[in-house]
Structure 1
Amino acid sequence: MPKRKYTLGQPHLLRRRGKTKLWTGWLDGREVSLGTADRAEAQRRLDDLAARHRHQGLAAERGGTEEGAPTPPRPLLTELALRFAEYCQPPRHTKKTADSYARRILHFVEWAEGQKVRRADEVTFKLMSTYTRTRTEAGAGAATVNRDVTAVRRMFAFAEREGLIAEDPFGARVFRNLKLREPRPKPNAVTLSPEQVDLFLDTADKVSPPAYAALFRLSAGSAIRIDEARHLDAADVDQARGVLTITPKRNWTTKGYRYREIPISKRSAAAVKAFVACRKGLATDDKTVWKEIQRVRKAASLPKFSMHDLRRAWASAVHAKGASLKQVSVWLGHADVQTTERYIRVYLTSTSGHQFLPR
């Protein structure tokens, strides 16, 4: 695509910024994000924004608002949802996070349209209060409802940054009351003990294909997420130092852009190498891995658990061995220690706690 001639004051591509080299453009006296690293696509988006601004200017000249001020943008909720879903795609967020945001936003837009609300400027605190009450009455827990509202909140924050709406309604103080009180995790919540994890891994070595057995062992020995395991390379393991490095890959980044080094054993390092060597053609989607875990744990006569429970078991084990909560949080790649606190559990074989009573 040939470069366009630069004209002073006219919309034009400006620069590529950030780790992902996304294009920005100059429009109406300010820099705007175009959300893509492709130059042709960036130019198309800039042209669309410029056309929309020209249309708003014409509407103002025909008597839109007082003193000739441009009419504030009033986009449809569906338009905001599509733009936000595109913005959230990897590598900005993991595919799982992007899909979660898209699903929650779609649910909200469909519900809002059922309430005869189709435009962004029609979203009010009363509407959002009705939405949270409807979700609660439908059986959704407080944590689920809070995540739904967070997705909507972030969509409107994105829309304001991009100039798609005049003002983010969630900036008002009254919207703070939308957050529901979430129940605290039970202090006696149990997790798999080290002996149970070893039994599961030994059983997997006998009954599972080698690639799945290696996947389970590396996950139990490093507490990495399954999405991170899918993008591992042999070079990510430093066997001399006993460290597994989680780093960005092409068109992928870890959750929250938090890259880290995790201490692992020699056996876990070997499992990483084995998994990378034989994972070609292996189905590693969440549903398939879940089915394989259930097949193995039934053979080992273990209670029901998921892949993420191996991550909780690792965190609980290293914390019980003396690692600080902050250090465990760094190894897990959590944004704050409060999240890690919910991961630390007690073992099924742990005491009731009576011997710790002072009197």
Structure 2
Amino acid sequence: MKISDSKLYKEFPLFSTLCGPEDYHAKQLLNQLLLRKGYSMKTRKAYRGHAERFLRQSIVSVNEVSREHLNKYLLELIETGHSNSYINQAISALRFLFKNTLKRYDLPKHWIRPKGNKTLPSVLSEQEVLSLLDSLANPKHRLLLTLAYSSGLRVSEVVRLRREDLDFSRNLIHIRQAKGGKDRYTLLSNTVIDLLQTYMMTHAVIDYLFPGVQSGSHLSERAAQAVFDRAKHKAGILKKASIHTLRHSFATHLLEGGTDLRHIQELLGHADVKTTQIYTHVSKKDLAHIRSPLDPIMENPPERKKE
């Protein structure tokens, strides 16, 4: 298969520094296979990025890469302080490139992966959520963050909402082709319906609820994050948080309010309930009934022994 160098330079400019046509060919095949297998745009971008970074520093062409080259590169990632999740994604990308795309069966079948980092999500209190939303004077921005919290949406989902996704008669939002290519329904609160009606009276909503700068486009995820960052600063919230924290807060507050974990799983679109169970670790529902042993000691102190 002959590849046009000019076409590849234009399509993949970062590959202009690579070794030769074999690398261009590998990148093209990788992109085609990712598309055919239905990987999301984010995953395709991430896998291409890892492939580019590896091949850019490689002293040999893609067809000459050995397991020693791969091991050395992954060790360098560890030594330079990259997170375990980043390294795991790099392994997945390189494994896909060499095994699935290039059929390099001489390379390792089983890759040693670092253990995943076990971190708990940051959660805003109910008062912090109210302060955040109250800090927004712009109706579009207020609706954006209110929807993200009240429906437990990912930022990628909230910016892509269309008018047709809103089911006012059943108080539901139809989330189409979300993470993993799955559809689901989630809540449309009465408060949000009131905000939507006011918003649609003053904004010509033809397709996307939150249109972007270019005609026919939606608001970018980066712009939505910037809205959250400004609101967080204005509300005086000091804890580390992003717009995705609103989704974590939605799930945690539902759990604390007595909603069954399985229902929360469906609303969030988690394939496995184990993913949803992380919110049991940040919920104060059960912890609120447990007292520190210091409190009863201070309330009824035992007699101190006299020296």
TM-score, normalised with respect to structure 1: 0.63
Q: Return closer, same or farther for 1:78/1:129 CA change in 2, 3 Å cut-off.
A: same
Q: Which one of the candidate residues 122, 126, 134 is aligned to 1:194?
A: 126
Q: Is the 8 A contact 2:166 2:172 kept in 1?
A: yes
Q: Is the 8 A contact 1:104 1:148 kept in 2?
A: yes
Q: Which residue of 1 aligns with 2:166?
A: 237
Q: Is the 8 A contact 1:190 1:347 kept in 2?
A: no
Match of 1:61 in 2: none
Out of 114, 117, 121, the position equivalent to 2:60 is 117
Letter in 1 for 2:180: G
Q: Residue type matched to 1:332 in 2?
A: L
- What is the alpha-carbon distance in structure 1 between the residues aligned to residue 192 and residue 37 of structure 2? 27
Deviation at 1:356, TM superposition (A): 8.3
* Amino acid of the structure 1 residue aligned with 2:49: R
Distance 1:356 1:139 in 2: 38
Deviation at 1:129, TM superposition (A): 2.2
The equivalent position to 1:96 in structure 2, one of 42, 47, 50, is 42
TM-score (norm 2): 0.73
Q: Which residue of 2 aligns with 1:227?
A: 156
1:259 aligns with 2:183: yes
SS at match of 2:244: helix
Letter in 1 for 2:153: I
Structure 1 residues 269 and 153, CA, compared in 2 at 3 Å: closer, same or farther?
Answer: farther
- Displacement of 1:123: 3.8
Aligned with 1:129 (options 64, 67, 71): 71
Q: CA deviation at 1:307?
A: 0.8
2:298 aligns with none
* 1:184 has 2:118 as partner: yes
Q: Confirm or deny: 8 A CA contact 2:264 2:276 kept in the other structure.
A: yes
Alpha-carbon RMSD: 3.3
Aligned partner of 1:280 in structure 2 is 211
Alpha-carbon shift at residue 109 of structure 1 (Å): 1.7
Higher RCO, 1 vs 2 (CA within 8 Å, ≥6 residues apart): 2
1:106 is aligned to 2:52: yes
Alignment size in residue pairs: 264
Q: Which runs of 5+ in 2 are unaligned?
A: 3-20, 294-307
Aligned counterpart, 2:145: 216
**Shift in alpha-carbon separation, 1:135–1:100, aligned structure 2, 3 A:** same
SS at structure 1 position matched to 2:45: helix
% same residue: 22
- Of the three residues 207, 222, 230, the one matched with 1:295 is 230
Give the counterpart of 1:138 among 80, 84, 94: 80
**Cα separation, 2, equivalents of 1:180 and 1:126:** 18
Report the CA distance shift for 1:230/1:323 in structure 2 as closer, same or farther (over 3 A).
same
**Deviation of the 1:214 alpha carbon:** 1.0
Report if the CA contact (8 A) 1:192-1:347 is conserved.
Answer: no
Offset at residue 215 of structure 1 (A): 0.8
Cα distance in 2, alignment partners of residues 87 and 148 from structure 1 = 17
- The answer to whether the 8 Å contact 1:156/1:168 transfers is no
Q: Check whether the contact 1:246–1:260 (CA below 8 A) recurs between aligned residues.
A: yes
1:31-52 per-residue CA deviation (whole Å, 9 max, x = no partner) reads: xxxxxxxxxxxxxxxxx59xxx
